Structure 1
């Protein structure tokens, strides 16, 4: 029987690489608002879902076991404390924090049955705040707390945070100008998740930081733009 993986944000820049990698060894339930874009892919079942609009009654597949759950859905827009309003905070908190908490809660029986692994995609912003990106940073700080709390409460489930730095995705394209060769390729994030999933039975990789070979600030200081 195939192992089972569930991935949110499956049609995003990282999501497609994550499901492609996991589908080599798992049957992947790929959750996304544009699930039709995944039709016909081998070993993948697309699941059309809006994690925010449907959060009170999420139409998740009924699964007896889940070996891997990856939370890749996220959003980010530039806001400072001064410019942000309550609706702006809610929009990012709902997708970046509330949705992974609720999806995890609903899938806990299946994760427990499999002794599964939960992977939260975090960010460098989860450890450092920014004046013009304060909401996103706050949500990623909260996501660390969610991951750590889940690990303490569920000792039979492995819980990992994979935190990439700037990655070549549509979300980053909406935040800044950059050279794709200077940031992380999404496939490298998928490889980091694979390392977490394939960790031996006596261990868990609780946090994996994925950084560019040369940090953007360092690159600028060295005049390598």
Structure 2
């Protein structure tokens, strides 16, 4: 049966790998982009996909941007978008905290709220692509890790709240993955970047699809994806 998925972060990295796999099997995609040109680019990547301009850095505007654009029933909301800015607490400007908490956490909460009636109608699933930083915070990762720890809290609370509505909630915690964000992290860390040293986004996508395709008698609340032996 064809399913409908609302996805953020589908333009690159893990989100792109997930969207491509879902599109290849004939599912319907609703893809959020930060503005109209980006939304059109995303729709063009996948024949039949719908691109919606919705800026995650402005969560208060998401409801208006999505009015009449959210299907009546959504099988899955996949939160794949995120931003990162590293730095010690002593040096991070307040904008680094606000930006990361806004995009990585608050926008995810608001988008979930908006989509919940449609997800309830489908007895669907909400999946958060979190990070190893959502479980452990390391030096210079304070703001990003705080946003991802908050995302874990959002998922855990939501899982209990929506169980009676038949909604499954899954959080995936990838380790360092070969994505444009990882390249940006290395730039900020001042280190050379070798994609071959990290998890392939397709491996994370495989984990995500396994959680989505699990029979209805079970759910995967949390799953970590770590680099394999080299």
TM-score, length basis structure 2: 0.88
Cα deviation, residue 86, structure 1 = 2.1
* 1:30 corresponding residue in structure 2: 31
Match of 2:184 in 1: 174
1:126 aligns to 2:134 (yes or no): yes
2: CA distance between counterparts of 1:48 and 1:14? 20
Matched, 1:43 2:48: yes
Cα-Cα RMSD: 1.4
Q: Indicate yes or no: 2:175 matched with 1:165.
A: yes
**1:143 correspondence with 2:151:** yes
Which stretch of structure 1 is more off in the superposition, 25-34 or 158-167? 25-34
Asked whether the 8 Å contact 1:126–1:138 carries over to 2, the reply is yes
Structural mapping, 1:1-40, within 5 Å: 2-23=2-23, 24-33=25-34, 34-40=38-44
User: What does the per-residue CA deviation read over 1:67-86, in whole Å, with 9 as the maximum and x for residues that have no partner?
Assistant: 01100010011121111232
- Distance (whole Å) between structure 2 residues aligned to residue 184 and residue 43 of structure 1: 30
How far did 1:29 drift?
A: 0.3
Give, in whole Å, the separation in 1 of the partners of 2:136 and 2:203: 22
Aligned to 1:141, the other structure's residue is in SS state: helix
Cα distance in 1 for residues equivalent to 2:139 and 2:71: 42
- Tell me if 1:208 matches 2:223: yes
Q: Distance in 1 between matches of 2:50 and 2:170?
A: 24
The answer for the alignment partner of 1:52 in structure 2 is 57
Q: Does 1:183 align with 2:175?
A: no
- Does the 8 A contact of 1:122 with 1:143 survive in 2? yes
Which residue of the partner structure matches residue 103 of structure 1? 111
> Under a length normalisation based on structure 1, what TM-score does the superposition of the two structures give?
0.90
User: C-alpha displacement at 1:99, in angstroms?
Assistant: 0.5
SS at match of 1:30: strand
**CA shift for structure 1 position 2:** 3.2
Is residue 72–residue 121 contact of structure 1 (8 Å, CA) maintained in 2? yes
1:223 — aligned with what?
Answer: none
Structure 1 residue 25, shift from structure 2 partner? 4.0
Distance 2:204 2:47 in 1: 21
SS at structure 2 position matched to 1:174: helix
**Unpaired runs of 5+ in structure 2?**
187-191
Cα deviation, 1:83-122, whole Å, max 9, x if unaligned, reads: 1232211100000000010000001100111011100011
CA contact (8 A) 2:33 2:42 kept: no
Cα distance in structure 2, aligned partners of 1:87 and 1:77: 10
